[in-house]
Amino acid sequence: MQTISGRSVQSRCLARVAAPGRKVCVVRAGAAVQDKPGEKVVGSAWQFTQPAGKGLGWYTGAEDGYLYVDQLRVEDIRRQVPEALFYLYSKNRVMHNYESYKKALEGLDSLPCYAVKANNNLIIMKQLAAAGSGAVLVSGNELKMAIAAGFDPSRTIFNGNGKLPWELELAVEKGVLINIDSEFDLQNIAAAARKTGKKAKVLLRINPDVDPQVHPYVSTGLAGSKFGIRNSHIKWFLDAIRAEPMLELVGVHSHLGSTITKVNIFRDAAVIMCEFIKMIRAEGFELKYLNIGGGLGIDYSHEGQVLPTPTDLIDTVRDIVKELGLTLVIEPGRSMIATSCALVNTVTGVKTNGNKNFIVVDGSMATLIRPSLYGAYQHIELTAPSTAEKQTFDVVGPICESGDYLGKDRVLPTPKAGDGLVVHDAGAYCMSMASNYNLKMRPAEYLVEDGKVRKIRHEETLEQHMAVFEGL
C-alpha cells in the first residue's frame, strides 16, 4: 500500500486532494511524451508508477519516497525524455494558482494580469490566456509574445522605466494600458500616440515609498527606486497629461517588490494610493484602475511556513476598492507559476575539497541564477529514495565561476553519478532568466498535462547560437 502525504507544503496540500491510504497502481501510458497533444516523441510503452487519485503539483510519495509531479514519478519521466537536464511543470498547479487569484477577486471589478517576466513559455502563456487572464508586460517582445499567445491586448499592461519608442507605438496601436514611469516616458508615450493616431490609456506608476521587507534587488517601491514617479511630483504629471489630448489617464499603479509575504504591506500601499486617487479625482480625472502590482511570495523554504493566500491579500484591500468604485488590477508572476515547476538535473559526480562536499550537477547558474544572483534558497531533493549516507553538500554546476551554485549546505543522501536531483519552485524567474553563459544551451521544458508529459520547449542548440554570426 502507498499513501500520499508529504514533507513539503505542496505535499500536505496534495494529501488533502488524494485520499491517504490509496493504492499505487502501475499504468501503461502509451503516448505519454508528446511534442504536441496527440503526437508521440519517445517510447510507446511507457510505464508510470502512479498513485491513485489526482495529484496537484510536486510531492514525495510517503511510502515509496519517490518524487512525483501530479500523478507521475519524476524518475519515470527522467528515463523517458532524451534530455538529462530539463524544466518540468505541472499544468494542474499553474491552473490552480490562477484560479486561486480569480476566486479571491470574486465580487470585485478586477483585472488579474499574469506577469510574463516570471515565465514566458508560449504554451503556458496560451493556457493562461485561454483561462481568461490578462498579462503584464515589460518589453515590446513580451507584448508580441502575449499577442501570439492569445491575450486580449486591452487586458494587458505595459510597465517599465525605459520603454522604447517602437515598443510604445506597438502598445498604443494595440490598445494596451501603459504605465507612465517618468517625465520622459510621458513624452515618449504621447509621441507614440500622436504617431499612431490613437489615444493612449495611461496609468501613473507612483512610488508609495513603502518598504516591502525583501531583498533589495526585488524591492521596487521605495523612494530611491529606479521605477515610478516621485509622489511629490504628481501635480506636474497631471498638468502634463491635461495638456496632452492624446493621453487619457485611467488609473494609478504601484509595485512594491517581489517575494512579499505580509499582506499588511499591500494594505499600507493601497491606503496611500487611495489618497492619491482622491487627490487626482479632485483634479477632474476619472480614474478607473487601482493597480497594486505583483502578487505574493511563496514558501521557498519548504518548512511549512503558513503564508497568506490570494484571498487574504485581496481581502485586505477589498473595502478600499469597493468604496472608491475602482477596478482592481493585480500582476502576479511568482505565485502563479513558481510552485508548478522544478529544474530536473542529473548528478555528474560527487567530490570533496577536504572540508567541503560538493554534488556537481549539469544545471548551473546559467540554467537557474536565483541562488547566485540573490543568495536565494530553493529547496533541493533527490528524485528517488536513497539509503546512502547523508552528508552536507553544496550543490554546484559546471560553470567556471565560484558563484555558480544551486544550493549551499544541503543535507542529502550521497548520490551517485546519473542520479536525479531537483531544484524546486523553479517556475518563476528561473528559465526566463537563463543564459548561455559558458555556452551552456538553455534546456528543454516539459509539462505534465492530463496525466501525460508534453514537450513545451525545445532545448536550444549550438547551431542556433552559431547562426547569429552567419554571414558576418
Ligand X SMILES: Cc1ncc(COP(=O)(O)O)c(C=O)c1O
Q: Residue 418 is placed in which grid cell?
A: 546519473
> CA-CA distance, 438 to 372, in Å (whole number)?
15
- Which one of residues 55, 57, 61, 294 is an interface residue with ligand X (CB under 6 A)? 294
Q: Interface with ligand X by CB under 6 A: which range of 16-24, 32-40, 189-197, 326-334?
A: 326-334
Q: Determine if 314 is a binding residue for ligand X (CB under 6 A).
A: no
Contacts with ligand X in 200-219 (CB under 6 A)? none
Give the DSSP per-residue string, 410-442. EEEE-PPTT-EEEESS-TTTTGGG---GGGPPP
Size of the site for ligand X (CB under 6 A): 17
Q: What is the dihedral of CA 14, 20, 24, 29, to 10 degrees?
A: -30
Backbone angles phi, psi at 52, to 5 degrees: -65, 155
Hey, how many other C-beta atoms are within 10 angstroms of the C-beta on 461?
11
Contacts with ligand X in 238-257 (CB under 6 A)? 255
To the nearest whole angstrom, how small is the minimum distance from the Cβ of residue 253 to ligand X?
Answer: 8
Q: Residue 465 is placed in which grid cell?
A: 547560437
Q: Interface with ligand X by CB under 6 A: which range of 36-44, 48-56, 112-120, 405-413?
A: 112-120
Q: Determine if 118 is a binding residue for ligand X (CB under 6 A).
A: yes
Hey, how many other C-beta atoms are within 10 angstroms of the C-beta on 230?
13
Mask 386-425, x = binds ligand X (CB under 6 A)? ----------------------------------------
Q: How far is CA 253 from CA 43, 361, 428, in A?
A: 50, 42, 22
- Which one of residues 302, 334, 370, 455 is an interface residue with ligand X (CB under 6 A)? 334
- Which one of residues 77, 94, 129, 136 is an interface residue with ligand X (CB under 6 A)? 136
Q: Determine if 332 is a binding residue for ligand X (CB under 6 A).
A: yes
To the nearest whole angstrom, how small is the minimum distance from the Cβ of residue 157 to ligand X?
Answer: 8
To the nearest whole angstrom, how small is the minimum distance from the Cβ of residue 217 to ligand X?
Answer: 10
Closer of 29 and 330 to ligand X (Cβ): 330
Q: Residue 210 is placed in which grid cell?
A: 513603502
Q: Interface with ligand X by CB under 6 A: which range of 238-246, 262-270, 292-300, 430-438?
A: 292-300
To the nearest whole angstrom, how small is the minimum distance from the Cβ of residue 226 to ligand X?
Answer: 11
To the nearest whole angstrom, how small is the minimum distance from the Cβ of residue 442 to ligand X?
Answer: 20
To the nearest whole angstrom, how small is the minimum distance from the Cβ of residue 162 to ligand X?
Answer: 13
Coarse DSSP helix, strand, coil percentages of the chain, rounded to the nearest 5 percent = 30, 25, 40
To the nearest whole angstrom, how small is the minimum distance from the Cβ of residue 32 to ligand X?
Answer: 31
- Of the candidates 264, 136, 162, 265, which has an alpha carbon nearest to the alpha carbon of residue 208? 265
Q: Determine if 97 is a binding residue for ligand X (CB under 6 A).
A: no
What residues contact 416, with CB distance under 8 A and at least 6 apart?
347, 350, 388
To the nearest whole angstrom, how small is the minimum distance from the Cβ of residue 136 to ligand X?
Answer: 5
Q: Determine if 80 is a binding residue for ligand X (CB under 6 A).
A: no
> CA-CA distance, 263 to 315, in Å (whole number)?
9
Q: Is-catalytic flag, 400?
A: yes
- Which one of residues 61, 140, 293, 308 is an interface residue with ligand X (CB under 6 A)? 293
Length of the chain, please?
472
Encode burial over 4-23: b for 16+ CB neighbours within 10 A, e otherwise.
bbbbbbbbebbbeebeeeee
Q: Determine if 78 is a binding residue for ligand X (CB under 6 A).
A: no
Helical (H) or strand (E) element with 173? helix 165-174
Q: Which residue is nearest to ligand X (CB)?
A: 294
Q: Determine if 70 is a binding residue for ligand X (CB under 6 A).
A: no
Closer of 201 and 334 to ligand X (Cβ): 334
- Which one of residues 167, 181, 331, 425 is an interface residue with ligand X (CB under 6 A)? 331
Residue of 25, 274, 341, 400 marked catalytic? 400
Residue 416 exposure: Cα atoms within 13 Å on the Cβ side: 6
Q: Determine if 366 is a binding residue for ligand X (CB under 6 A).
A: no
Mask 423-452, x = binds ligand X (CB under 6 A)? -----x------------------------
> CA-CA distance, 468 to 199, in Å (whole number)?
38
> CA-CA distance, 157 to 138, in Å (whole number)?
8
- Of the candidates 390, 384, 424, which has an alpha carbon nearest to the alpha carbon of residue 410? 390
Q: Determine if 155 is a binding residue for ligand X (CB under 6 A).
A: no
* Helix boundaries (H) for 58-90: 74-80
What residues contact 281, with CB distance under 8 A and at least 6 apart?
287
Residues that bind ligand X (CB under 6 A): 115, 117-118, 136, 159, 220, 255, 258, 293-295, 331-335, 428
